[in-house]
Amino acid sequence: MNWTNYYQSVVASLIVPVNTTCQVILQALPKNIQIQDSCSFYEQVLFKEESLHDISRGGFTSVWLPPPSKSVQLEGYLPGGLYDLDSFYGSQVSLERLVLVLKERGLQVWIDWPLKRRCLKEQDPTTRSHMFVTRPIWTADCLKYAFSSFHRTTSHVGYPKLLVRSTSHNGLDTTIPVDLNNSKVRQDLLQWVSWLENQLSMDGVVCDGVQMEDIPFLLELIKHEESRWKAISPQPMLSLSSPTYEEEEKEEEVEQPSFLSSSQEREWKEPFIYSPLTPNEYLSIALVKVEFSQDSDGRLAYDQSLATEQLFEFIQSTHRSYALIDTVSRTILETALIFQEYWRLIDKEARLVGLLGRASDRAITVLNMVDLLANMEREYVETGGGGWVICKTQRCDFPDAHILKGYAYLLTHPGIPCIHWDHYFDERWRQGIEELIQVRRGCHIHASSTVYIESACAEYYAAFVDKHVAVKIGRGDWHPNGPCWELCTFGWEYAVWKRK
């Protein structure tokens, strides 16, 4: 694995009132999108009635849908007219119906939104290439910086005369960054969010492309969402504090964990106890750019405290109003599984790695991601109209051989886990994922659960979660001691037990 240029950029901010303690998110962002398929992604989901039942029965609480606007990029992150909801994923009619069906099954629906990117659809009459002629209409002063080099290319039907700029002889960049400090841009985006919410009756939007400098706008967006939810929801919002169980509280007051020896008791750490949030607070999620430390040979270094601190600083700067995609724990987990280096899964202070060890209630854990600011691949598709160009982003896909081991970690540990669409609907992993979700929900594992790491060595990783769940990942031989433990699910190089 080449870590030389491995980094993640701020790509997502999600705003929706939820109870984070029990969230399990389904990332409905399919990897393969059929461009000329007669049945779009939205329609495929609608036609598969059993899939919708599986989502609602499988323990998911929310579905994260892809960007809705028409885009020159398959995944939808380079939109033109924001109000045009006919995309590669399907038509606006199909999207509206899909959102309605999901909500009828008790699921929250979040829509991805490329906050700071737009592509020029066509040139304006005065040939000023930097002017948007689709809603919202923005001129050069709305852009973060103006582009000096443009050329014209033929596009798909509905996108004639697409204007892009060349950043090099071998690359093509169609990203137009907009200026969130511009009052018109802020007003237009807030209006678009209101229109999108009213049009689709969705619960929230996912805003990608934000950075630290965009926090003032993000806070303004939060206020906008709070006002909307207070207007449509007269009932008190669910508390974001951890669930309490009287039996567990009594047990904690009376005795120490039975699986710890006297020498281990003093090493017990609870790094995930934080002040609970107020009942009406709203969840916001971001994916923040961090740079990982490397060893002299170019491999990922063991100590990633600097990258973790960058994430934690963002959380603190927003007064803990934002949760972040925990790219640090995701990257370390991938390396540990691939190279059988499970000692990476405990940091130098004997805590979980990444945000899980600093602020687990603000950590969104994932396996697959889209690296939106990476160089994009071009594909020229021949059509009857002369051909058109689409863009494909580079993806950060978790290795297939380690998918279930990755979810064994995510679903038994604190944080807010996300299950990727392609993983859940793949028969190779479906049953294992469902069993792990059942363990998480049945044993009440939540975003602020406590973890004691029993061992993190070259052969395996073993930990106890909330004193009720034990998990082992790796080829080494390990199991919790005592007759009070029963095996509830297992697979290749992982096993999970729960207390009877």
pLDDT of residue 471: 98
**Domain-located, residue 117:** yes
CA distances to 300, 328, 491 from 402, rounded to whole Å, are 18, 17, 11
Beta-sheet pairing, 151-153 with 416-420 = unpaired
Domain with residue 441: its CATH number is 3.20.20.80
Dist CA 77 CA 159 (whole Å)? 15
Q: Sheet of 451-456: strands edge to edge?
A: 451-456, 460-465, 469-474, 494-499, 485-491
**Domain-located, residue 167:** no
Q: Which domain holds residue 101?
A: 7-123+180-242+252-295+304-449
Q: Is the peptide bond before 136 cis (omega within 30 degrees of 0)?
A: yes
pLDDT of residue 268: 34
**Domain-located, residue 207:** yes
Q: What pTM was computed for the model?
A: 0.78
pLDDT of residue 369: 77
pLDDT of residue 175: 55
CA distances to 126, 431, 468 from 123, rounded to whole Å, are 8, 51, 62
Beta-sheet pairing, 62-65 with 108-114 = parallel
**Domain-located, residue 13:** yes
Dist CA 22 CA 440 (whole Å)? 9
Judge contact between 471 and 412, C-beta under 8 A: yes
**Domain-located, residue 256:** yes
Partners of 378 in beta bridges: 391
Residue 305 identity (one-letter amino acid): S
Q: What letter would DSSP give residue 67?
A: P
Dist CA 83 CA 195 (whole Å)? 9
**Domain-located, residue 81:** yes
**Domain-located, residue 469:** no
Tens place of pLDDT for every residue, the chain, 500 residues?
444 333 333 444 555 555 556 789 998 988 777 655 567 899 888 887 777 877 888 889 889 899 999 887 778 887 888 899 998 899 999 999 999 999 988 888 888 888 888 876 544 444 445 566 678 888 777 877 544 333 333 333 333 233 333 332 223 334 567 888 899 999 999 999 889 888 888 887 777 767 778 888 877 887 777 776 666 554 433 333 334 434 444 444 434 344 333 333 333 333 322 223 333 345 677 777 788 898 888 889 999 999 999 889 888 887 787 778 898 999 999 999 999 999 999 999 999 999 999 999 989 899 987 654 444 454 444 444 444 445 555 567 899 999 999 999 999 999 999 999 999 999 999 999 999 999 999 999 999 999 999 999 999 999 999 989 999 999 999 999 988 999 999 999 999 999 98
**Domain-located, residue 152:** no
Question: Total domain count for the chain?
Answer: 1
Judge contact between 74 and 37, C-beta under 8 A: no
